[in-house]
Amino acid sequence: MQKTMVAVVKPEPKAGSEICEVKVPSFGPRDVLVKVKVASICGTDLHIYDWDQWAAGRIKPPLVPGHEFCGNVFAVGDEVTTVKEGDFVSAEMHVACGKCFQCRIGEAHICPNVKILGVDEDGAFAEYVRIPYADGSLYHFPPGGDEESLVMLSDILPTGFECGVLNGQVKPGDTVAIVGAGPVGLAVLLTAQFYSPATIIMVDVDDNRLAIAKTLGATAGINSTDGHAADHVIKLTEGAGVDVAIEAVGIPATFDICQAIVAPGGRIANVGVHGKPVELHLEKLWDRNISLTTRLVDTATTPMLLKVVRSGKLQPSRLVSHRFPMSDIMKAYDTFGNAGKEGALKVILTNTEPA
Ligand SMILES: NC(=O)c1ccc[n+]([C@@H]2O[C@H](COP(=O)([O-])OP(=O)(O)OC[C@H]3O[C@@H](n4cnc5c(N)ncnc54)[C@H](O)[C@@H]3O)[C@@H](O)[C@H]2O)c1
Ligand SMILES: [Zn+2]
Ligand SMILES: [Zn+2]
């Protein structure tokens, strides 16, 4: 058993989260055991914590959640060649076999054997986490890195960059709108600036997040509570609309804003996970030469993002608002779950060594 406090989803009859002891994971020849040092809570973890419809359909409890983390390699399977005991690593949120056709063409996220840590396999909100297919799933970090920034490389940075900035083809001089100033929208904001867009307009219902966005490079913030965000963006752009509209919320209302503000020839890049259908307004868009993209993050850009983080030019640790020891994980979930009231963005969990 690992003497640690973890949040697990309990088996029926009453699914939900609680703290308990779990076994140290066993590991096979292609696996690695990592001693978790720093982790971070993601919106996906909240779905499991709240045991919503998505979680009930996908999760097989009991489960240790958590897919954003870094730590030291503790034990190595016989066939693993790329890391050794003591190495400081983080894993991709989805671990894939590395051998199938999809993996070999760089599309590991659609590998038939893909598993999301903390969703399909026990994850990182514990003392130890097992990383399957470790050779293809681990990122080796040099010593002395900014650990809180490295944790942001597990998910939000590649998500914002790949699904938002790359798919939206942000270019120098562009006018960009990012709808949603949560951690993912703010990661879009940080990485969009690689390409020097002239204007970045953030749209959210939370003034605190809009204010943070301004400190991170947004040129304007629009509160969409009044239901007229699209009109405000059109006015701000003197009627032109935006070259790139990035949806980083995942609800019909914000997808609608993107459709209403995209300029002729522009791009809509959807990042949000949508639980409900949206209306596609082709009656307005059919002759506007727009492109619409969707994408599941594949973390192919993580090595590049790591280089930029190491250079200090990208500091995603600026998104950290709260820090808790792993043993206070329930408090951390409450804080993150009440982000508006608590002023929370990214919440960090740290495993402290026993005295
Ligand atoms: N495509 C992918 O691979 C991928 C990967 C990770 C996350 N995601 C998705 O990205 C989305 C954003 O993630 P997050 O962690 O930043 O979520 P979040 O819930 O923390 O942030 C969403 C933001 O949207 C704002 N918002 C809510 N309703 C709004 C409205 N009507 N108008 C404007 N703003 C509104 C909220 O105030 C919040 O700041 C989620 O849907 C998440 O599931 C996608
Ligand atoms: Zn995540
Ligand atoms: Zn594969």
Distance CA 155, CA 141 (A): 16
Q: How confident is the model at residue 98 (pLDDT cuts 50, 70, 90)?
A: confident
All CATH 3.90.180.10 domain ranges in the chain, comma separated:
2-155+299-350
Q: Can you name the residues that pair with 322 across neighbouring β-strands?
A: 347
Percent with pLDDT over 70 in the chain: 96
All CATH 3.40.50.720 domain ranges in the chain, comma separated:
157-293
Distance CA 47, CA 270 (A): 20
Better pLDDT: 43 or 344: 344
Question: For the chain, what's the residue count?
Answer: 355
DSSP count for the chain of H helices, then E strands: 14, 17
What's residue 240's pLDDT? 98
- Catalytic residue list: 44, 47
* Residue of 249, 278, 293, 321 best suited for mutating to test ligand 1, as the one with most atoms within 8 Å of CB: 249
CB 179 within 8 A of CB 160: no
In this predicted structure, the answer to whether residue 334 has a pLDDT above a threshold of 80 is: yes
Domain 2-155+299-350 has CATH 3.90.180.10: yes
In this predicted structure, the answer to whether residue 14 has a pLDDT above a threshold of 80 is: no
In this predicted structure, the answer to whether residue 81 has a pLDDT above a threshold of 90 is: yes
In this predicted structure, the answer to whether residue 218 has a pLDDT above a threshold of 70 is: yes
Q: How confident is the model at residue 106 (pLDDT cuts 50, 70, 90)?
A: confident
Q: How many CB atoms lie within 10 A of CB 46?
A: 16
What's residue 288's pLDDT? 96
Percent with pLDDT over 90 in the chain: 71
Per-residue model confidence as pLDDT tens digits over 281-318:
999 999 999 999 999 888 889 989 999 998 989 999 99
Chain-centre distance for alpha carbon 271? 10
Tell me how many degrees the CA angle 183-188-193 measures, rounded to the nearest 5: 130
Question: Which residue minimizes the CA distance to atom 38 of ligand 1?
Answer: 182
Ligand nearest to the CA of 160: 1
- Please, which residues have CB less than 5 A from ligand 3, an ion? 96-97, 100, 103, 111
CA of 339, closest atom in ligand 1: 20
State both tokens at 106. 């760089």
Per-residue model confidence as pLDDT tens digits over 222-253:
999 999 999 999 999 999 999 999 999 999 99
* Residue of 49, 119, 184 best suited for mutating to test ligand 1, as the one with most atoms within 8 Å of CB: 184
Q: Is the CB of 204 under 6 A from ligand 1?
A: yes
Integer-rounded Cα Rg, in Å, for the chain is: 20
Question: Which residue minimizes the CA distance to atom 13 of ligand 1?
Answer: 184
Q: Residue type for 169, please?
A: Q
Residues in CB range of 335: below 8 A, 6 or more apart = 322, 324, 342, 344, 347
In this predicted structure, the answer to whether residue 159 has a pLDDT above a threshold of 60 is: yes
What's residue 267's pLDDT? 98
Distance CA 345, CA 237 (A): 29
Ligand nearest to the CA of 112: 3
Give the CATH number of domain 157-293.
3.40.50.720
pLDDT (average), residues 79-85: 95
Of 121, 102, 120, give the one whose Cα is nearest residue 112. 102
* DSSP-assigned letters across all residues of 74-98: EEE-TT--S--TT-EEEE-SEE--S
How many angstroms separate the first and last alpha carbons of the chain?
19
Distance CA 148, CA 150 (A): 5
- 25: cis peptide before it, omega within 30°? no
Q: Is the CB of 158 under 6 A from ligand 1?
A: no
What's residue 9's pLDDT? 72
Distance CA 307, CA 296 (A): 22
List strand residue ranges (DSSP E) for 61-212, in order: 68-76, 88-91, 94-95, 115-116, 128-131, 138-141, 175-179, 199-204
State both tokens at 280. 């596609």
CB 193 within 8 A of CB 167: no
Distance CA 341, CA 164 (A): 27
